[in-house]
Chains A and B, each alone.
Chain A
Amino acid sequence: MIPSADTILQLIVQALLLGSIYVLMAVGLNVIYGVVKAINWAHGAFVMLGAYAAYWLYELYGISPYASAVFSAIALAAIGAFTHELLMKPFFGMRYFRAITLVVTYGLAILLINITRYMWTDVLRGVNLGVPPATIGAISISRPFLYGGLVAIALSILFYLMLKRTQIGRAARAVSESRKHAMLVGINPNVMSRFMVISGAAMAGVTGSLISTIFAVTPEMGSVLGIKAITIVILGGLGSYAGALIGGLMIGFAEASGTYFLGARYQPLLYFLTLLIVLSIKPTGIAGEE
């Protein structure tokens, strides 16, 4: 089937929007990895909690998920602080640090998903704003997706600029390169890593608010997305923002075009193969350092 120009355009837009949600998740993971060197397996669960926060605020008080993203961010920031103090800090300097934090955050994910399930059951929920799609020429774009994508891109750029341009960013990079040397120039690495874990978790909260209007809100909603985000971070290179951007968009495109041209059955294949090919050529991801 040869698609028309409009269909291709529609596909590209869709891929871009989906990709930007992935980018936001990947950036959230990278913010943590950059300084702490831990992959947060619970990121998907954090996103899920953010979505629940948005859902309840919408359901009970009628607050739009875009406005309540701030509350989601604050709530998740608190959980992030807890995660850093209790589940990451005690392991600093251990031989299997990365492996241990991965297993611990996996435990955290199980814990959070099942507490959610216990409190609010598996009932499907969702926020339907009922807004009609935006139409540009022959293509129509889902507004929740459009807003979500735009906020995701803005937030990613904002964070990138903060890390590149501000004093905090410089300090974070210093810690990321060497905790010891950072300490010598008067930076407290613990403060930095706490700040970054909190920021990463807050970003997960915002992501959750954004996707509460796109996907069904369930305790398991973050699991697939979380693993996808980890794949993207690996594809782009751990700790690299440019990598997260390229990786997220690549996966967005691989999924949309794979589904359209190869069929839904092969949808996951294309993006898995992308990752495997990239890694067998460059074992540290697109933009990762050795």
Chain B
Amino acid sequence: MPKLGLAVGREGAMKRSLMLIALALTLFLIPPIVEKGYYINLLAIIFMYTALAQSWNIISGYSGYWSFGHYMFFGIGAYAVGILVTKLSFDAYLASVLGGLASFLAAVFLGLILLRIKGPYFAISSLVMAEILKVIAINEEWLTGGGNGLILPPRYALREFYYAILLTLLAVTAIAYAIKRSSMGYALFAIRDDETAAETYGINSTKYKILAFAISAFFAGVAGGCFAWFVTYIDPYSAFDSTLALMMIVSAVFGGIGTVMGPIIGGFVFTLLMEVLWVSFPYVYLIILGASLILVMRFIPDGIVERLVQIVQLMGKVGIKIPARI
């Protein structure tokens, strides 16, 4: 994949911004040392949704294959951990990674079937696939505990969950960035813009799509795995919860699809917004949520990141100087 000369300056900027992101996220190592309880729990949940949004972004934002069933990988990860810990007494951390691997393998296999289907057909098929897995989780009681769910040994480890999920978020962000800068990223964007054309130029679209699908599934699986040992109780309805997919999509769209920063900003802002609304308006927060979803899409369909760029540029035009480097 030839690199364009123009991209060089941008690359430097991206590198610096990545370092800044890393720095900011590293700062989040501190809170659990000085604080415990609600705020840590809230931050951890924000990280989880953000990591999920970022993982969704890798397949759907980059390649344009909108997966509505991405929560299936969260569920696979959660159940892998549930089964490994309760039936085979695995260590929870190792199990989480294995949960990610299980999702990865499942995605490779399912991708062979699903990724041949395009557009809205793909979106709904992935949703249906997730529902099939849920039915399996409900029925294979010897393995999954059926509707009774799986009760993991109580450990209630908030701090561990916080760090594990922060690490997942950092990793998925780094991978999302690396993919975007690599030839794989170019291939995925080419597929998004016009798959047939991309194939004519010799891009092996199947390979890239499946790889992106599997990588993205891995991180969703790890997040699901961590969630399982954190809440200590999973059942088919909470592990395969379709609202999770909507959270991922909405967070990514909110921030800006296809960018690395988009899902991060979207995830933080959206999850926080939900929390604030729901703490302050217990009865009507869902009404406000629905309305704000509509309003955001109506006025900033490109996402917050794109709009911020425009604002900053506008400020530059009217003469407000912002130092280029910090």
Contact = CB atoms under 8 A, between A and B. Distances in A.
Interface stretch (A110-118, A137-145, A162-170, A206-214): A110-118
Interface centre among A39, A96, A117 (most CB of B within 10 A): A96
Contacts, number: 109
A135 interface: no
Interface stretch (B7-15, B124-132, B209-217): B124-132
B131 A268 contact: yes
- Which range contains the number of B residues in contact with the other chain? 35 or more
Contact of B249 (A98, A103, A110, A117): A103
B161 interface: no
Contact of B135 (A102, A111, A272, A275): A272
B301 A115 contact: no
Most buried by B among A106, A112, A272: A272
Contacts of A104: 293-294, 297-298
Interface in B94-132: 113, 116-121, 123-125, 127-129, 131-132
Contacts of B129: 272, 276
Interface in A264-285: 265-266, 268-269, 272-273, 275-276, 279-280, 283-285
A111 B120 contact: no
Interface stretch (B44-52, B183-191, B279-287, B314-322): B279-287
Contacts of B292: 107
Contacts of B116: 280, 283
Contacts of A231: 124, 128
Interface in A193-237: 227, 230-231, 234
A87 interface: yes
Interface string A166-190: 0000000000000000000000000
B118 A265 contact: no
Given A266-B139, A269-B132, A279 B117 contact: yes
Interface string B265-300: 000000000000000000110110111111001100
Contacts of A110: 286-287, 289-290, 293
A275 B130 CA distance: 13
B290 A276 contact: no
A249 interface: no
B121 A87 contact: no
Contacts of A279: 117, 121, 125
Contacts of A107: 289-294, 297
B138 interface: yes
B286 A272 contact: no
A131 interface: no
Nearest to A274: B128
Interface in A63-103: 86-87, 90-91, 94, 96, 98-100, 102-103
Nearest to A111: B290
B66 interface: yes
B326 to A, nearest CB: 33
A275 to B, nearest CB: 5
A114 B284 contact: yes
B250 A234 contact: no
Given A91-B301, A275-B125, 5 more contacts: A99-B66, A100-B297, A107-B289, A268-B135, A285-B121
28 contacts: A39-B120, A98-B119, A99-B66, A102-B123, A103-B249, A103-B250, A103-B253, A103-B293, A106-B246, A106-B293, A107-B289, A107-B292, A109-B290, A110-B287, A110-B289, A111-B290, A115-B287, A234-B125, A265-B135, A265-B138, A265-B139, A266-B139, A268-B132, A272-B132, A272-B135, A275-B128, A276-B125, A283-B117
